[in-house]
Amino acid sequence: MARKNRKTHAIGAAFLMLAAAEPAFALSGSMKVTGRASQPIGHYEFCRQSPSECKPLDGDSGPLPLSPALWQDIVNVNVSVNSAIKPETDKEIYGVEEKWAYPTTAGDCEDYALLKRRMLMQKGISASDLLMTVVLQPNGEGHAVLTVRTDRGDFVLDNMRDQVKLWSETEYTYLKRQAADDPGHWMKILDGRAPASATVTTVAGN
C-alpha cells in the first residue's frame, strides 16, 4: 500500500474511533467557559496591528460538524505546520519578549497556532470554531495552542505534538481562549480536571 494511502487509512481509523467513543464526549469533550478574561498582551498588539483579524463575527456558528474529510484537514494542517516551522523564541526572532505573528520559517507556540488557524479558515472552517487558547504546562510555564470546536468535542492543535488530541486528554491546565463570537475578546475556561493556580498574561516561547 502506498504511503499516502496508509496515512489516509490511519486518519479514517482514528475518526471511526472518535465516533465509537462519542458518549464520552458529553462528559469531557467540550470546554466550559465562564466570564470575560483579560486579552494576552501579545494578542492585543497583534490586533492593533491587524484589526481585521480581530473584528467581531456575525454570531457563533456553533461547533463544527466533524466529518472524515475535515478531520483529515485538521490533522494534516497540524503536521504540516509543525514540520515547516522551526521553533524559535520571540527574543531570537524579533529581539522582544513577546510578539504574536504569522511565521514564515520560524516561530514560537502562538505563531504556530495562528498559522494553523488561518490555514483551516482557508479550508472553510469558521473562525468561531478556531480559537487561540492559553494553557499552563505541568511545569507552570505558559503555552498557546489552537482549539478546534467540533460536535465531537474540542480538539487541540499543538506545536509540541503531531497527534491531535481531545483537550481533556492533554496534560495542560486550560486558562482562557478567544470568544467564539469575537476573536478580540477572551473567555475564562473552567478546567474541572485540575485547579488553575496562576494567571498568564504572556505566553512562553515554546
Q: What is the pLDDT of residue 139?
A: 95
Q: What is the pLDDT of residue 28?
A: 57
pLDDT under 50 in the chain at which residues? Answer: 1-6, 8-9, 19-27, 196-202
Q: What is the pLDDT of residue 14?
A: 58
Q: What is the pLDDT of residue 193?
A: 74
Q: What is the pLDDT of residue 200?
A: 45
Q: What is the pLDDT of residue 15?
A: 55
In whole angstroms, what is the distance from residue 147 CA to residue 113 CA? 9
Q: What is the pLDDT of residue 2?
A: 45
In whole angstroms, what is the distance from residue 13 CA to residue 30 CA? 22
In whole angstroms, what is the distance from residue 85 CA to residue 161 CA? 13
31-190: CATH topology is C8orf32 fold (3.10.620)
In whole angstroms, what is the distance from residue 172 CA to residue 138 CA? 6
Q: What is the pLDDT of residue 24?
A: 41
Q: What is the pLDDT of residue 4?
A: 46
Q: What is the pLDDT of residue 201?
A: 43
Q: What is the pLDDT of residue 104?
A: 96
Q: What is the pLDDT of residue 87?
A: 97
